């Protein structure tokens, strides 16, 4: 029970920090809003889609990109805590070692929830609508948050290894930015070169985007079934990736935290 109680304390500490530093929320939502407006009004007219408006196709992809980039906050925050010596202060307290990481990753999902709400409101303003039931709508949000939570643990390891917030941000951008674009986030993958299309179809970013589209009801009624199994069963495929990422990076992050704290 010490892990649960200690994690709740760390989560509360990080949530309070988000509330006291509103810049975190502003910059976490400003970029996705800009992407929505740019793609909706600048590129949307040049991307033909049959049976569905581009706004409805776009928003699930923007949501997937937003929560993935939001998860990079975990790595930067942990690197900052290490740099400032806060991790050493946590070590001196009678608390679970894993609680620092659990509290950090859970608190960052609060920021993701705020970002999702802002994105949904922005989507409504540019013409996006959900055409599904309430349970399906909620499940779409849970799938997005589950995937974001797993990416937070991956970024936690990066932050503990790199130990410099600026390098964490640069490294995560170099890796995550191509992953979110070589996918079905903004355009269908049908016209991609063969190699890129195969990569995009099996990219978990594509599956979480496809899962959100189907659960929001943002798919064309006459759309052909995707060729890849990953996109035929996007919820299952996404949850498989969530399980794999957590199984690998939770123990690695906890082990790296112990090493970093012992330095």
pLDDT, one tens digit per residue, over 229-261 is 999 999 999 999 999 999 999 999 988 888 765
> How far, in Å, CA of 151 to CA of 146, rounded?
9
Q: What pLDDT sits at residue 263?
A: 54
Higher-pLDDT residue of 159 and 95 is 159
pLDDT in tens, 98-111: 888 998 899 888 88
How many structural domains does the chain have? Answer: 1
Measured CA to CA in angstroms, residue 184 lies from 2, 103, 110, 126, 212 at distances of 42, 32, 26, 20, 12
Contacts of 13 (CB under 8 A, 6+ apart): 103, 107
Q: Which two tokens stand for residue 155?
A: 């970024």
Q: What pLDDT sits at residue 225?
A: 84
Q: Is 163 left (phi over 0), alpha (psi -120 to 50) or beta?
A: left
In the numeric block, the tokens 């649960």 are attached to 4
Q: What pLDDT sits at residue 70?
A: 84
> How far, in Å, CA of 195 to CA of 176, rounded?
19
Q: What pLDDT sits at residue 262?
A: 56
Q: Is the pLDDT of residue 1 over 60?
A: no
Global pTM value:
0.90
Pair 23, 189: CB distance under 8 Å: no
Q: State the average pLDDT over residues 16-40.
A: 78
Strands (E), 112-219: none
**Number of other CB atoms surrounding residue 10 within 10 Å:** 21
Buried b (16+ CB within 10 A) or exposed e, 152-184: bbbbbbbbbbbbebebbbebbeeebeebbebbb
Contacts of 190 (CB under 8 A, 6+ apart): 197
**In the structure, what pLDDT confidence band is assigned to residue 183 with cuts at 50, 70 and 90?**
very high
Q: Domain span at residue 81?
A: 2-262
Q: Is the pLDDT of residue 152 over 60?
A: yes
Q: What pLDDT sits at residue 194?
A: 92
């Amino acid at each position: 029970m010490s892990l649960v109680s200690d994690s709740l304390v760390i989560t509360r500490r990080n949530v309070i920090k988000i509330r006291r530093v509103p810049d975190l929320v502003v910059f976490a939502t400003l970029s996705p809003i800009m992407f929505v407006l740019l793609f909706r009004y600048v590129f949307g007219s040049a991307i033909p889609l049959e049976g569905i408006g581009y706004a409805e196709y776009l928003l699930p992809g923007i949501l997937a990109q937003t929560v993935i980039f939001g998860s990079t906050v975990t790595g930067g925050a942990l690197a900052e805590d290490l740099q400032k010596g806060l991790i050493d202060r946590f070590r001196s307290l009678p608390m679970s070692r894993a609680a620092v990481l659990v509290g950090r990753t859970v608190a960052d999902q609060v920021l993701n929830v705020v970002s999702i709400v802002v994105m949904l409101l922005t989507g409504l303003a540019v013409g996006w609508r959900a055409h599904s039931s309430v349970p399906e709508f909620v499940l779409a949000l849970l799938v997005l948050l589950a995937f974001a939570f797993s990416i937070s643990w991956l970024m936690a390891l990066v932050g503990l290894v790199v130990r410099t917030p600026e390098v964490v941000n640069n490294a995560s951008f170099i890796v995550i930015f191509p992953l979110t674009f070589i996918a079905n986030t903004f355009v269908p993958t049908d016209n991609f070169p063969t190699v890129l299309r195969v990569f995009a179809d099996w990219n978990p970013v594509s599956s979480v985007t496809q899962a959100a589209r189907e659960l929001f009801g943002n798919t064309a009624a006459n759309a052909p079934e995707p060729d890849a199994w990953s996109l035929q069963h996007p919820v299952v495929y996404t949850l498989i990736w969530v399980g794999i990422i957590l199984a690998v990076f939770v123990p690695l992050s906890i082990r790296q935290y112990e090493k970093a704290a012992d330095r």
